[in-house]
C-alpha cells in the first residue's frame, strides 16, 4: 500500500478554512490565523501567519486508495473513499447530525470483482452520482457509476460478499451500479465534463482517452495517447483538459480532440499530481516525485485549435513552498487567490501563496506603486532620518527652503540645505570667500587677478612669486622656532580663501579662532593657534573647551601635555608624544602633536591626515611648504578630490574647468544636480557656465523641478539664473498683433517716446494713457472687446493713475502700470474668444462653455496640465 | 520607512503594468482583461479611476505615457499583435464634471506579426517617437512627424534583434553628448544564445540604429530592462531583471574625432548582482534621480536597492507583494485580518465611482538586509 502511506490533501469545497489529509486515516484540519483565540495550543503552524487545528480523525476506512469530497453544501463533510479492494465507502468526518448524512454514512458500493479503485469523481450537477475508476479484471467493466441514494439490492449480491462486508443486515451495501463503462479495460483517471454533466472523460489502460455520454453509452469519442493519468478539466475554460504521463503534461481541447493542443516541457522525474488553479485563469500546477518544487505553467495565451497557429505563450515558474523536505502532495485553496497547502511525506504541512508577477513604477515624487494580481498598492516614503533620505527627497526639501538663492550671505546656503553636510558647508564657504574677496582684488589690480581668485588655490599658488621665508619665534618666547614659514601675497590670498585670515594686509588669525571657539570646535581652534606658533593660546583654548558646557575634561590633559613641549630632539617628551599621539581619537589633537614632533620641513603626518578638513590642510600647507613642495602637494590633493568628487576640493580647483571636472565626479556619485547648478552658476567665466556639462545639469535640475510641479521654484531658478548668466534670458514668447495694422500691440519701452509725442501732436486732451491702452499703439484702432464686459481691452486708466506713486514718477515705463492681473488679456487658443482675465476666471467658475453666444468651446477643459496645481505653493 | 496602502483596482484579471505620468498625478494600468484604466490623484492623495476602456483583443502587456508637452497621450501594446496610441479628448461631453475622462484611439500600429511585448515613448527631446518590440524579435521605431496629428505615425526604423524581445528601454539622457540609444531584452529560453541584452545607438551619419553593445554575460531570459535617469551623469546605468537583479554601468569611451562614424564604444562594468529574489526577477524600476531601484520577483516581494557613495549597492527594504509584513518585521500581524488580505473576491464596483478608497493600511518597517558583496 505504498500510496496509502503518502499523504494526500483535499480542500473542503465549501469551507474555505478546512481540509483533509488522507494517508492511512482521514484527518480534518481547520486553518486559522496564528495567535487568534481559535488557535489552540496544539495547533500546527503552517506559515508565519496561519496554523492548523486538528478537528477530527476517521480511521474507519483502511486501505484507502482515493478520496472524493461530496460537492454539495449539505451534507457537509461527506467523503467517498475508494479502497484497495474496489469498494467505495461513504464516510464522514466530525459532525454527522442531520438525518440525510446518517443515512448515507457507512454505505458501501461493491464491484463484482475485487480490484483496486484508482479514482473517484462526483458528478458536479447530479450529485447522487459517483463515478469510480477501477483496475482491469478480465472482461469486466472498469468504470462504475453509483447512485448513492439507491437501496440495498440483496438478490444481486452473492452471499459470501455480504459476509465479507459484515453489515448486510443494515442494508448499507449496494452492488448494482447505475452505469458500467470501459469493458475489458482499466481506468486510471476520470472526470466529469462541466459543460455537459452527462459526459464523462475516462483515461484507460489501453492508451486512450475516451469521452462517454451516459445517454448513449455505446458511443464514445476517443483518442490514443500515452498521457492517461490525472485527467482534469480547467475550471475556467471548460474545453481545456490536462492529462499526464510520466514527466509530460498534455493539454487538450475537447473541441478538437485528435491530438494535444500542446505539451509542456518534459520533466526528468515522473509527475504525481497536476491541478488547475481554481482562482486564476490558465494556471496549472504540477508536482513530480521526490522534489520540493512545484512547477506552475501560466497559460495566458494558450493557442486554441480554432484560431490561427500562434506560438503558445506559456510562462513556467518554479516555486518552493518549503525548502527542506520534499512534497508529497498539494491542493489549491478553492477561493483564496493562488493559495495552496502542501504536505510532505511526514505529514508536515505548509500554507503558501503563489505570488503573481508584480509590476511596479516609481512616481516622480518617490512613491512606489505596484500591482500584484488584481490589486494595486501605493507605497510612500514617510519620515526617516536625514542620513537615510534619498537625494531626490533632499533636493525637494532644499528647493522648498530656497537653497541656493541666498546671494548676499552665500555661506548661509549650506544652512538652507540642512546644515549637516560638511561638503556642502565647505563648498558654500569657499564660494562665499571667493565672492567676497574678488571685488577687493578687482579694485587694486584692475581685474587681472579677478579671474585668478575664481581659479582656486591650485592656480593661485602656481602663480606665486616672491615668496619669503621667515623664521618666527614661538609667541611669548624669545627662542626662534626651528620651523620655517613662507609668505607671499598669493599665499595670503589662499589663507583668506581658506578662511583663516580676514581682509587686510596683516595676518591676524584671532577672529578666526574666536569664531571657532564660538562654534565649540575647540580642538580645531587649538591646532590652528598652534600652527600659528602660539602654544599659550592653544592651551588657553583647550582649557576653555574643557570647562565649557558638555566639555571634554580630557582637553585639560592634552593642554598639560602640550605645555611640556620642548624642541630638543632626543627628549622623552618627544619620544612619547610621537608614539602616543596615534592613539588619540580626535584628528585635530593628533595633528597638533604630529606638528610638534615632526622633523623640520616634513609634515606628512599633518598633510595626509584625511580626517582633517581640506581647508585646514591647505592653509597649513600654504604656511609651511616651500615653493617646490606646495604645488606638488596641492596638485596631489586636487586630483584626490576630483577622483572622489569631494566638494571640499572646490577650494583648490575654484570655479574653473577643473572645478567642473570635480563637480562632474560629484554628480556622478550623488546625482545632486541642484548643488551643481547653483554653484556653477557662480562661475564668472563663460568657460564654466557655458560648459555643456553645466548646461546639462541646469537642464536636468529644471526638468526635476517641472516633474515635481515646483513651477514657481523653477521660475525663481530661471530668474536667479538670468541674473548670473544674462545670456540665458529667454526671448519674448507671445506677441499679440493688431487686427487692423498687424503690428504688435505691446507697449514696449522703445516704442513709447515716439507715441507719446504722437498723441500730444494730435492734441488729445487729458492723460495720453487713457486713449492709448484701449487702442492699438500702431494705428490707434480700438482693441477687441472683452466677451463679458464688452469693453475694449486695455487697463482702465483710473486704476493706474489712482496711486500717488505713478504720478510722481511720470517717466516710469508704462507697462509697469498695467500690472493688475485681472486686466490681462486672455483668450482661448481654440475658439479665440477672450477678455479680461478676472472676468474669464469668474465666468468659468460656474460655466464650462465659452461666454460668447453660440460658441460651445469648453475652453477651460482643453488642457489637463493647466488644471494641475503647482505643488510648491502653500 | 515606507507605508503601503491597497487600492481596489477593479481589474477583472491580472494587472500587467503600472505607469505614472510625468508629474506623478496620473497613472495608467493595463490587464489581461484587455482594458486600460486611467487613475487621477485627488488633492487628498487618493486615486480615482477616471477612465476604463477595452483597448485590445488580447492581454494588454504594457502601457506608457507620453510627455505632457504632447498632450495627454498613452500607448499600449498587446498580445493581439498591435500597439495603439490613445489621446484624452475634452470638451465633447460633460464627463469631466462627473470625474470621468474620455480617451479615443488615435492609431493602431499593426506591423508586428506576433505579440507586441513592450512599448515606450522616446525622451521628449527626440520629438514624439515611439518604440515597440515584439516576440518575433523586431524593434520598431515610429514617429509622429506632426505632433498635432496623432493619427499619423510613420515606421522609421526596424531593428531585427534575432531573439524574441520582451522589453525595451530608451536612454533618457538629453545630453547632446549622448546619441539616442535604446536597449532591448530578450526572454528567449535557450541559454546557449548568450547576450540577451542588446543596445542600439542612432548614428547621425547613416541615420540608422546600429548595435553598440551586447551584454554577453546575460544568458538567462530577461524580463525587464530599465535605463536609469541620467541626471547629467557622465555614464549610463542599466538595470536588468533576469534570474537575478543586475546593474550595469556603461561608460562611454571618449572617442577621437577621426573615428566618429562608428557607434560609441563603452566600458561595461557590472555594478551589482543580487539573487535574493531566489528565482526569476520580473520587473525593475528607477526613481527619478536613479538613486533607488525597485525590483519584484518570484518570491512575491518588492525589494528596494540603494547605492552608497562608493557605488556599493545594497538592499534597503523588502515589502511583500500583498502588502503584508515581511518576516522579522516588528509590526507583524497588523494587516492580517483585513478584507484585502483574506482573498475574498473584490466587489465589482462600477467604473465611475471612487473605486479607489484605500481599504487598509499596512505599516511596513523595512528590514535592513545583509549586503551581498560581489
Residue ranges covered by each domain of chain A: 1-153+172-224, 465-626, 823-866
> Which residue carries 591626515 as its cell?
A609
The answer to whether residue A684 scores a pLDDT higher than 80 is no
Residue the block writes with cell 491530438 = A259
Helices (H), A109-180: 159-165
Stretch 342-361 of chain B: residues touching chain A, C-beta under 8 Å: 342-346, 358
User: Who has greater pLDDT, B321 or A423?
Assistant: A423
**Confidence at A800, pLDDT banded by 50, 70, 90:** very low
Q: Place A156 in a pLDDT band, splitting at 50, 70 and 90.
A: very low
Tens digit of pLDDT for each residue in A233-274? Answer: 988 888 889 999 888 899 888 888 888 888 888 888 899 999
Q: Which residues of chain B neighbour A693 with C-beta distances below 8 Å? A: 232, 234
Q: What crossing angle do the helices spanning A554-563 and A522-531 adopt, rounded to 10°?
A: 10
* pLDDT of B254 over the 80 cut: no
**pLDDT at residue A814 is higher than 50:** no
C-alpha cell at B11: 481589474
What is the structure's pLDDT at A782?
Answer: 81
Give the B window 233-252 contacts with A, CB below 8 Å: 233-235
For A25, which DSSP code?
S
Q: Would an 8 Å CB–CB cutoff place A616 in contact with chain B?
A: no
Cell of residue A541, nine digits: 583654548
Angle A596-A601-A604 from CA coordinates, rounded to 5°: 70
Residue B85 confidence (pLDDT) above 90: yes
Give, in order, the Cα–Cα distances in Å from B317 to each of A377, A564, A607, B121, B297.
16, 54, 41, 30, 14
Report the residue from B24, B68, B280 with minimal CB separation from A317: B280
Which residues on chain B are in Cβ contact (under 8 Å) with A364? 20, 22-24, 288
Chain B neighbours among A 545-574 (CB < 8 Å)? none
Question: Which residues in chain A (319-358) have CB-CB distances under 8 A to chain B?
Answer: 319-320, 333, 335-337, 339, 353-358
Q: Is 80 exceeded by the pLDDT of residue B317? A: yes
Q: Does the pLDDT at position B371 exceed 50?
A: no
The residue length of chain B stands at 374
**What CA–CA distance (Å, rounded) separates A500 from B331?**
52
Interface check for A306 against chain B (CB to CB < 8 A): the answer is no
- Which chain A residues contact residue B27 at CB under 8 A? 361, 363, 369
Q: What does the longest C-alpha to C-alpha distance in chain A come to?
A: 137
Q: Which residue of B has its CA nearest to A311?
A: B114
Average confidence (pLDDT) over B15-21: 94
Chain centre to alpha carbon of residue B234: 23
| B220–chain A nearest CA distance, Å | 14
Residue A601, Ramachandran bin (φ over 0: left; ψ between -120 and 50: alpha; else beta):
left
On chain A, the residues whose CB falls within 8 A of the CB of B114 are 310-311
B204 CB within 8 Å of a chain A CB: no
- Residue (of B251, B175, B126, B171) closest to A691 by Cα position: B175
Q: Which of A280, A673, A709 sits opposite B231 (nearest CB)?
A: A673
**Long-range contact set of residues A261-265: C-beta below 8 Å, sequence gap at least 24:** A261/A302, A261/A303, A261/A304, A261/A305, A261/A312, A262/A302, A262/A303, A262/A312, A262/A314, A263/A227, A264/A297, A264/A314, A264/A316, A265/A316
Q: Could you say which of 3.30.1060.10, 2.130.10.10, 3.40.50.300, 3.90.1150.10 is the CATH number of the domain covering A1-153+172-224?
A: 2.130.10.10
Measured CA to CA, the distance from residue B64 to residue B86 in angstroms comes to: 10
Q: Which residues of B183-197 are buried (b: 16+ CB within 10 A; e: fewer)?
A: bbbbbbeeeeeeebb
With CB atoms and an 8 Å threshold, state whether A375 touches B177: no
Per-residue confidence (pLDDT) for residue A448, from 0 to 100: 52
Residue A323's pLDDT is what?
65
Whether A38 and chain B come into contact, CB under 8 Å, resolves to no
Q: Is the bond into A275 cis (omega within 30 degrees of 0)?
A: no
pLDDT in tens, A620-655: 998 888 888 898 999 999 999 999 999 999 999 888
A307–B contact, CB cutoff 8 A: no
B337–A contact, CB cutoff 8 A: yes
Which of A98-112, A527-541, A574-588 comes out lowest in average pLDDT?
A98-112
ipTM of the complex: 0.86
Q: Which residue of B has its CA nearest to A50?
A: B336
pLDDT for residue A605: 85
Q: What is the DSSP letter of A737?
A: B
Tell me what the pLDDT averaged over chain A comes to: 79
Band (pLDDT 50/70/90 cuts) for residue B141 is: very high
The answer to whether A718 and A727 are in contact (CB under 8 A) is: no
Question: How do residues A293-320 score in pLDDT, each as one tens digit?
Answer: 888 888 866 555 555 555 566 777 778 7
pTM: 0.79
- Of A291-300, A761-770, B20-29, B41-50, minimum mean pLDDT range: A761-770
Q: Does the beta-carbon distance from A382 to B176 stay under 8 Å? A: no
Task: Give chain B positions within 8 Å (CB) of A318.
Answer: 279, 298
CA closest to A334 among chain B residues: B343
Q: Which of A84, A87, A79, A64 is nearest to A166 (CA)?
A: A87
**How would residue A535 be classed by pLDDT, with cut points 50, 70 and 90?**
confident
pLDDT band at A785 (very low <50, low <70, confident <90, very high): confident
B26 phi, psi to nearest 5 deg: -130, 155
Quote the distance between the C-alpha of residue A244 and its chain's center: 42
Q: How confident is the model at residue A97 (pLDDT cuts 50, 70, 90)?
A: low
Of residues B298 and B49, the one with the higher pLDDT is B49
Please say whether the beta carbons of B222 and B241 come within 8 A: yes
- Nearest beta carbon to residue B289 from set A310, A356, A390: A390
Interface contact flag, A367 B24, Cβ < 8 Å: yes
B190 touches chain A (CB under 8 A): no
Amino acid at each position: 500500500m505504498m500510496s496509502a502511506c503518502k499523504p494526500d490533501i483535499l480542500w473542503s469545497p465549501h469551507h474555505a478554512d478546512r481540509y483533509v489529509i488522507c494517508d492511512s486515516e482521514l484527518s480534518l484540519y481547520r486553518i486559522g490565523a496564528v495567535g487568534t483565540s481559535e488557535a489552540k495550543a496544539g495547533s500546527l503552524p503552517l506559515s508565519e501567519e496561519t496554523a492548523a487545528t486538528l478537528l477530527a480523525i476517521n480511521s474507519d476506512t483502511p486501505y484507502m486508495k482515493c478520496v472524493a469530497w461530496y460537492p454539495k453544501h449539505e451534507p457537509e463533510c461527506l467523503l467517498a473513499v475508494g479502497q484497495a479492494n474496489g469498494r467505495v465507502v461513504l464516510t464522514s468526518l466530525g459532525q454527522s447530525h442531520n438525518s440525510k448524512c446518517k443515512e448515507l454514512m457507512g454505505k458501501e458500493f461493491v464491484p463484482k470483482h475485487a480490484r483496486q479503485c484508482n479514482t473517484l469523481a462526483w458528478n458536479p450537477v447530479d450529485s447522487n452520482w459517483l463515478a469510480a475508476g477501477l483496475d482491469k479484471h478480465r472482461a469486466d467493466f472498469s468504470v462504475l457509476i453509483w447512485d448513492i441514494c439507491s437501496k440495498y439490492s440483496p438478490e444481486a449480491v452473492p452471499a459470501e460478499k455480504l459476509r465479507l462486508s459484515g453489515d448486510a443486515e443494515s442494508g448499507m451495501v449496494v452492488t448494482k451500479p447505475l452505469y458500467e463503462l470501459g469493458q475489458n479495460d482499466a481506468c486510471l483517471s476520470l472526470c466529469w465534463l462541466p459543460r455537459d454533466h452527462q459526459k464523462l472523460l475516462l483515461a484507460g489502460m489501453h492508451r486512450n482517452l475516451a469521452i462517454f455520454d451516459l445517454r448513449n453509452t455505446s458511443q464514445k469519442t476517443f483518442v490514443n495517447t500515452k498521457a492517461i493519468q490525472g485527467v482534469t478539466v480547467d475550471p475556467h475554460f471548460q474545453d481545456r483538459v490536462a492529462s499526464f504521463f510520466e514527466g509530460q503534461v498534455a493539454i487538450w481541447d475537447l473541441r478538437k480532440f485528435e491530438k494535444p493542443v500542446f505539451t509542456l516541457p518534459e520533466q526528468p522525474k515522473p509527475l504525481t499530481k497536476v491541478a488547475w488553479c481554481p482562482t486564476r485563469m490558465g494556471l496549472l500546477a504540477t508536482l513530480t516525485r521526490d522534489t520540493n518544487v512545484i512547477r506552475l505553467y501560466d497559460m495566458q495565451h494558450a493557442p486554441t485549435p480554432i484560431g490561427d497557429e500562434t506560438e503558445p505563450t506559456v510562462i513556467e515558474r518554479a516555486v518552493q513552498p518549503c525548502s527542506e523536505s520534499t512534497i508529497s502532495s498539494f491542493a489549491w485553496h478553492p477561493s483564496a487567490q493562488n493559495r495552496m497547502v502542501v504536505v510532505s511525506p511526514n505529514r508536515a504541512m505548509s500554507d503558501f501563496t503563489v505570488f503573481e508577477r508584480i509590476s511596479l513604477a516609481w512616481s516622480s515624487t518617490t512613491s512606489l506603486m505596484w500591482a500584484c494580481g488584481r490589486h494595486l498598492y501605493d507605497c510612500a516614503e514617510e519620515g526617516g532620518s536625514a542620513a537615510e533620505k534619498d537625494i531626490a527627497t533632499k533636493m525637494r526639501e532644499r528647493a522648498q527652503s530656497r537653497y541656493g538663492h541666498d546671494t548676499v550671505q552665500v555661506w548661509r546656503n549650506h544652512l538652507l540645505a540642512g546644515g549637516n553636510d560638511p561638503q556642502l558647508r565647505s563648498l558654500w564657504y569657499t564660494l562665499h570667500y571667493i565672492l567676497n574677496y574678488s571685488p577687493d582684488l578687482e579694485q587694486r589690480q584692475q581685474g587681472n587677478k579677478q579671474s585668478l581668485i575664481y581659479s582656486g588655490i591650485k592656480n593661485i599658488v602656481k602663480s606665486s612669486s616672491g615668496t619669503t621665508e621667515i623664521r618666527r619665534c614661538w609667541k611669548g618666547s624669545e627662542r626662534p622656532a626651528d620651523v620655517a614659514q613662507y609668505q607671499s601675497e598669493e599665499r595670503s590670498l589662499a589663507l583668506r580663501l581658506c578662511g583663516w585670515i580676514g581682509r587686510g594686509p596683516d595676518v591676524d588669525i584671532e577672529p578666526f579662532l574666536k569664531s571657532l571657539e564660538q562654534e565649540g570646535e575647540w580642538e580645531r581652534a587649538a591646532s590652528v593657534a598652534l600652527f600659528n606658533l602660539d602654544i599659550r593660546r592653544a592651551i588657553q583654548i583647550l582649557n576653555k573647551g574643557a570647562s565649557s558646557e558638555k566639555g571634554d575634561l580630557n582637553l585639560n590633559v592634552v593642554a598639560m601635555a602640550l605645555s611640556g613641549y620642548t624642541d630638543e630632539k632626543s627628549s622623552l617628551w618627544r619620544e612619547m608624544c610621537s608614539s602616543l599621539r596615534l592613539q588619540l581619537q580626535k584628528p585635530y589633537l593628533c595633528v597638533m602633536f604630529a606638528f610638534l614632533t615632526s622633523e623640520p620641513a616634513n609634515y606628512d603626518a599633518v598633510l595626509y591626515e584625511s580626517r582633517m578638513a581640506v581647508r585646514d590642510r591647505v592653509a597649513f600647507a600654504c604656511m609651511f611648504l616651500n615653493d617646490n613642495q606646495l604645488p606638488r602637494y596641492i596638485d596631489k590633493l586636487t586630483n584626490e578630490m576630483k577622483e572622489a568628487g569631494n566638494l571640499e576640493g572646490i577650494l583648490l580647483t575654484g570655479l574653473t574647468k577643473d572645478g567642473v571636472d570635480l563637480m562632474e565626479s560629484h554628480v556622478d556619485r550623488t546625482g545632486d544636480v541642484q548643488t551643481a547648478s547653483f554653484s556653477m552658476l557662480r562661475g564668472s567665466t563663460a568657460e564654466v557656465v557655458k560648459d555643456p556639462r553645466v548646461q546639462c545639469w541646469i537642464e536636468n535640475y529644471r526638468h526635476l523641478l517641472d516633474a515635481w510641479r515646483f513651477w514657481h521654484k523653477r521660475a525663481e531658478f530661471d530668474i536667479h539664473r538670468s541674473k548670473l548668466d544674462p545670456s540665458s534670458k529667454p526671448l519674448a514668447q507671445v506677441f499679440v498683433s493688431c487686427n487692423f495694422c498687424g503690428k504688435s500691440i505691446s507697449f514696449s519701452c522703445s516704442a513709447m517716446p515716439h507715441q507719446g509725442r504722437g498723441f500730444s501732436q494730435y492734441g488729445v486732451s487729458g492723460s495720453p494713457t487713457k486713449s492709448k491702452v484701449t487702442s492699438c499703439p500702431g494705428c490707434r484702432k480700438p482693441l477687441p472687446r472683452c466677451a463679458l464686459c464688452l469693453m475694449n481691452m486695455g487697463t482702465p486708466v483710473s486704476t493706474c493713475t489712482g496711486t500717488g506713486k505713478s504720478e510722481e514718477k511720470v517717466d516710469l515705463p508704462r507697462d509697469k502700470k498695467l500690472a493688475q492681473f485681472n486686466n490681462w488679456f486672455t483668450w482661448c487658443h481654440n475658439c479665440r474668444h477672450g477678455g479680461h482675465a478676472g472676468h474669464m476666471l469668474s465666468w468659468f467658475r460656474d460655466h464650462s462653455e465659452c461666454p460668447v453666444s453660440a460658441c460651445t468651446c469648453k475652453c477651460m477643459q482643453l488642457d489637463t496640465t493647466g488644471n494641475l496645481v503647482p505643488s510648491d505653493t502653500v | 520607512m515606507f507605508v503601503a496602502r491597497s487600492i481596489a483596482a477593479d481589474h477583472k484579471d491580472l494587472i500587467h503594468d503600472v505607469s505614472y505620468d510625468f508629474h506623478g498625478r496620473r497613472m495608467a494600468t493595463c490587464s489581461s482583461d484587455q482594458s486600460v484604466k486611467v487613475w487621477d490623484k485627488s488633492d487628498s492623495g487618493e486615486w480615482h479611476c477616471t477612465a476604463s476602456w477595452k483597448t485590445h483583443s488580447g492581454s494588454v502587456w504594457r502601457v506608457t505615457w507620453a510627455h505632457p508637452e504632447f498632450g495627454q497621450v498613452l500607448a499600449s501594446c498587446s498580445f493581439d499583435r498591435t500597439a495603439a496610441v490613445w489621446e484624452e479628448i475634452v470638451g465633447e461631453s460633460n464627463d469631466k464634471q462627473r470625474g470621468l475622462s474620455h480617451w479615443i484611439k488615435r492609431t493602431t500600429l499593426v506591423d508586428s506579426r506576433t505579440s507586441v511585448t513592450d512599448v515606450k515613448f522616446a525622451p521628449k527631446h527626440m520629438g514624439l517617437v515611439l518604440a515597440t518590440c515584439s516576440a518575433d524579435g523586431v524593434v520598431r521605431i515610429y514617429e509622429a512627424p506632426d505632433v498635432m496629428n496623432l493619427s499619423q505615425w510613420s515606421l522609421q526604423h526596424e531593428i531585427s534583434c534575432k531573439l524574441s524581445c520582451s522589453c525595451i528601454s530608451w536612454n533618457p539622457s538629453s545630453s547632446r553628448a549622448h546619441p539616442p540609444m535604446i536597449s532591448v531584452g530578450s526572454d528567449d529560453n535557450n541559454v546557449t544564445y548568450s547576450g540577451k541584452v542588446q543596445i542600439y545607438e542612432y548614428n547621425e551619419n547613416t541615420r540608422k540604429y546600429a548595435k553598440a553593445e551586447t551584454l554577453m554575460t546575460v544568458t538567462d531570459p530577461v524580463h525587464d530592462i530599465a535605463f536609469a535617469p541620467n541626471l547629467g551623469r557622465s555614464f549610463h546605468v542599466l538595470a536588468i531583471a533576469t534570474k537575478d537583479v543586475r546593474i550595469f554601468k556603461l561608460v562611454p569611451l571618449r572617442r577621437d574625432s577621426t573615428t566618429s562614424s562608428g557607434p560609441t564604444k563603452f566600458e561595461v562594468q557590472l555594478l551589482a548582482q543580487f539573487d535574493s529574489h531566489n528565482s526569476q526577477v520580473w520587473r525593475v524600476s528607477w526613481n527619478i534621480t536613479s538613486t533607488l531601484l525597485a525590483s519584484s520577483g518570484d518570491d512575491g516581494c518588492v525589494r528596494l536597492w540603494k547605492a552608497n557613495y562608493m557605488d556599493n549597492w545594497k538592499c534597503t527594504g523588502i515589502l511583500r507583494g500583498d502588502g503584508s509584513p515581511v518576516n522579522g518585521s516588528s509590526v507583524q500581524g497588523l494587516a492580517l485580518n483585513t478584507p484585502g488580505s483574506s482573498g475574498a473576491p473584490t466587489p465589482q464596483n462600477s467604473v465611475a465611482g471612487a473605486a479607489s478608497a484605500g481599504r487598509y493600511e499596512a505599516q511596513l518597517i523595512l528590514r535592513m538586509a545583509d549586503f551581498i558583496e560581489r
